A and B are shown apart, each in its own frame.
Chain A
Amino acid sequence: MRHLVTLTLLCAALSPGVSAQGGSANPIVGMGYLYPPVNVAPGQLITVFVAGNVQGDITAAVTGRPAPVLSVQPPSGCPSATLCSSVTAITLQIPYEIEPDCFPLCLVMEQAQLVVTANGVASPPIELAPVADRVHILTACDTVLSNGSGSAPSGGLPCAPLVTHADGSLVTSASPARGGEVLVVYAVGLGLTNPLVRTGQAAVTAAPTNETFSLDFDFRPNALANQPVVLCSCPASAPNCPLPCPVLPQPLYAGLTPGFVGLYQINFIVPPPPVGTQPCSGTVQSNLTVSVGGQNSFDGAGICVAPSE
């Protein structure tokens, strides 16, 4: 509701006359406390925000390898009145062929460069740090979705994640998941698959990820992600092990979704909620945070589960 109010207010702000400011010098490209992140995984779908109203023949490349452009959102689709005059949102796929660095297993940090070319004019490159995985669980606001607003809610929680029941309907507070049910999380950035899929092409059949991903379940209300962590001191097979390594919860399937470019899904079983779990209602926007973690990254989805009866 608060988000809807935000969008309404932003729409009201789009009237001409309030955004006029001479010149496009010194454009602000972001605010915060860190430089824009540049970690990407092979095959990752991501939106690049390019200064200016970029039109015409648009291509992208990562260190000389073509990065297919999947969509171009002109400035008129931007939710921000003044930024609309200066930013084009270009969704592309990072080539599967880039070489992820081996951090933290080794100290070699590979670098790559992304260039966007419009009508033959190349942008200055930005440097990327390829990693094996850069998990991002899709939300309803994301720009890589055709109807995503690209605007964050004001409460600090992420937008509603794209987590569905087996029939494809969204898991929501009105349609919560149940313990033992199989759900599907949609994501990008899970990296290479076996078999390999060519950059820019959709998987024809299920293509599992090369990497094994782990899960974490947190029934605290409105929690962000937890990095799935192995709490142990030695393998379970080791004799006299004081704290044997447990097996972290694993997905039933983690891999590409057939028919889509760069879209992954993680299928998993919802664990039974502990006694006392609060139902989603009012300020409790989620009562189970499912986190998906790989070698280099993790992300979480706050969903609603029906408390145990």
Chain B
Amino acid sequence: MLVILCAAFLPHAFCQDASVNTIAAAGYLYPAPVMVAPGQVITVFIEGNLQGDITATVRQVSDHPAPVLGVTPAPNCIIAPSTPCSSTTAVTIQIPYEIAPTCFVCATPASFYTQLFISVNGAAGALFDLTPLTDRVHILTACDTLAPNGSGLAPYNGLPCPPLVTHADGSLVSAGSPAKGGEVVVAYAVGLGATTPAVRTGQAAATATPASQTFSLDFNFRPNALATQPMPPMFEPGVLPTSLYTPLYSGLTPGFVGLYQVNFIVPTPPSGVEPCSGTIQSNLTVSVGGQYSFDGAGICVAPPE
């Protein structure tokens, strides 16, 4: 699985001019500012098809290079291939570790005006606002633009794609290979922020490098649940031992740029948990939460025998 993750970062490029009145997005919230954490690997969608020398820069007081890890050309139109579609080029970058996160909870709240721009063949593009935070957890899924063969497209049922959660041997946890209570599994993620010791932007960690921040866990055995913001253990007294709310390890995965892993023990499923099958795509949602963000992974666990 890790080898395939590497293959997802092969760069390539394509070319087409941008057009006027281009529809950038549709939804209910503006596409910016985007919240990011130091070191976060994230895909930037840019209008039109780009080719040539593509660089990224994060501007915060001074300019910080944001390494470009991969470029995916804009997808072709499906319904009318001969029609020029409004399209985007997907550029995967790493947010520099050097940027300072905004501090909302400090005695004197600090903010740092932060912007991203992409340059093509030396020509800088328009600025895009970022909100830097200490963490912006995103558990990777099979559909992600960062994932091996990730389509970048969401499923039609509103559930996330299968998360990249593996057994200790690296094989994916799935309905056919569910996790078991007491087992140690690994969730792969991005956006866990600064580490101790610090790792240089654009470089892979040589060894295990823990996140500086302490992350919490939440376990929800309801089927097909999205994430739950992990709460301090005091809010669910006696449900699980406190140690289960803390990962065994949360930090960088050696050999990869900006890839984190969260190792944790699967709690014993309560009696009555239905196995994954048919409409039940997950029967345990594991959520990982930090100071400013949380995300969840719906996985399959074997019911107690």
Residues of chain B within 8 A (CB-CB) of A143 are: 27-30
Residues of chain B within 8 A (CB-CB) of A126 are: 23, 26, 85-86
Q: Which of B193-201, B203-211, B224-232 is near enough to bind chain A?
A: B224-232
Contact indicator per residue, chain A 112-130, by CB within 8 Å of chain B (1) or not (0): 1110111001111111010
Residues of chain A within 8 A (CB-CB) of B100 are: none
Residues of chain B within 8 A (CB-CB) of A227 are: 157-159, 223-225
Residues of chain A within 8 A (CB-CB) of B23 are: 48-51, 114, 116, 123-124, 126
- Indicate if the CB atoms of B113 and A18 lie closer than 8 Å: yes
Question: Which of B21, B80, B156, B274 is the one whose CB lies under 8 Å from A231?
Answer: B274
Question: Which of B43, B140, B156, B222 is the one whose CB lies under 8 Å from A32?
Answer: B43
Q: B17: nearest residue on chain A (CB-CB)?
A: A25
The answer to whether A87 and B116 touch (CB under 8 A), given A35-B152, A51-B21, is no
Question: Which of A22, A104, A152, A218 is the one whose CB lies under 8 Å from B222?
Answer: A218
- Indicate if the CB atoms of A297 and B125 lie closer than 8 Å: no
Contact indicator per residue, chain A 268-304, by CB within 8 Å of chain B (1) or not (0): 0000000000100001100000000100111110000
Within 8 A of B (CB), among A184-225: 218, 220-225
Task: Assess whether A265 is interfacial by the CB under 8 Å rule.
Answer: no
Residues of chain B within 8 A (CB-CB) of A31 are: 31-32, 34, 36, 42-45, 116, 128
The answer to whether A222 and B228 touch (CB under 8 A), given A13-B113, A35-B152, is yes
- Indicate if the CB atoms of B104 and A28 lie closer than 8 Å: no
Within 8 A of A (CB), among B77-99: 77-80, 83-88, 90
Q: How far is the CB of A142 from chain B (nearest CB, A)?
A: 4
- Indicate if the CB atoms of B27 and A46 lie closer than 8 Å: yes
Cα of A22 to Cα of B32 in the assembled complex, Å: 19
Within 8 A of B (CB), among A87-116: 87, 89, 103-104, 111-114, 116
How many residue pairs link A and B with beta carbons under 8 A? The number is 332
Within 8 A of A (CB), among B57-82: 75, 77-80
Within 8 A of A (CB), among B125-162: 125-129, 131, 133, 137-138, 140-141, 143-146, 150, 152-154, 156-159
Question: Which of A47, A50, A112, A154 is the one whose CB lies under 8 Å from B292?
Answer: A154
Cα of A46 to Cα of B123 in the assembled complex, Å: 34
- Counting chain A CB atoms within 10 Å of each CB, the highest count among B28, B35, B84 belongs to B28
Could you tell me the dominant secondary structure of chain A's interface residues? Answer: loop
- Indicate if the CB atoms of B224 and A46 lie closer than 8 Å: no
Residues of chain B within 8 A (CB-CB) of A297 are: 157-158
Q: How far is the CB of B28 from chain A (nearest CB, A)?
A: 4
Task: Assess whether A173 is interfacial by the CB under 8 Å rule.
Answer: no
The answer to whether A32 and B34 touch (CB under 8 A), given A21-B117, A231-B274, is yes
Task: Assess whether B294 is interfacial by the CB under 8 Å rule.
Answer: yes
- Indicate if the CB atoms of B158 and A221 lie closer than 8 Å: no
Residues of chain B within 8 A (CB-CB) of A220 are: 220, 228
Task: Assess whether A83 is interfacial by the CB under 8 Å rule.
Answer: yes
Task: Assess whether A64 is interfacial by the CB under 8 Å rule.
Answer: no
Cα of A80 to Cα of B32 in the assembled complex, Å: 6
Could you tell me the dominant secondary structure of chain B's interface residues? Answer: loop
Q: How far is the CB of A248 from chain B (nearest CB, A)?
A: 12
- Indicate if the CB atoms of A30 and B80 lie closer than 8 Å: no
Give the interface size bracket for A toward B.
Answer: 35 or more
Cα of A221 to Cα of B30 in the assembled complex, Å: 27
The answer to whether A37 and B26 touch (CB under 8 A), given A25-B126, A127-B78, is yes
Question: Which of B24, B111, B293 is the one whose CB lies under 8 Å from A12?
Answer: B111
- Indicate if the CB atoms of B131 and A224 lie closer than 8 Å: no
Within 8 A of A (CB), among B1-15: none
Task: Assess whether A146 is interfacial by the CB under 8 Å rule.
Answer: no
**21 A-B pairs, CB-CB below 8 angstroms?**
A13-B113, A21-B124, A21-B126, A23-B123, A24-B125, A28-B44, A30-B32, A32-B45, A33-B143, A35-B145, A36-B31, A40-B26, A46-B27, A48-B23, A80-B33, A112-B79, A126-B23, A127-B79, A156-B292, A227-B157, A278-B235
Additional A-B contact list (7), CB under 8 Å, known A155-B293, A226-B222: A26-B120, A27-B46, A33-B145, A46-B26, A127-B85, A227-B157, A227-B223
Q: Which residues of A contact B (CB under 8 A)?
A: 2, 5-6, 9-10, 12-13, 18-19, 21-40, 46-52, 54, 78-83, 85-87, 89, 103-104, 111-114, 116-118, 121-127, 129, 131, 135-136, 138-139, 141-144, 148, 150-152, 154-157, 218, 220-227, 229-231, 278, 283-284, 293, 296-300
Q: Which residues of B contact A (CB under 8 A)?
A: 18-36, 42-48, 50, 75, 77-80, 83-88, 90, 102, 104, 109, 111, 113, 115-120, 123-129, 131, 133, 137-138, 140-141, 143-146, 150, 152-154, 156-159, 220, 222-229, 231-232, 235, 274, 279-280, 289, 292-296
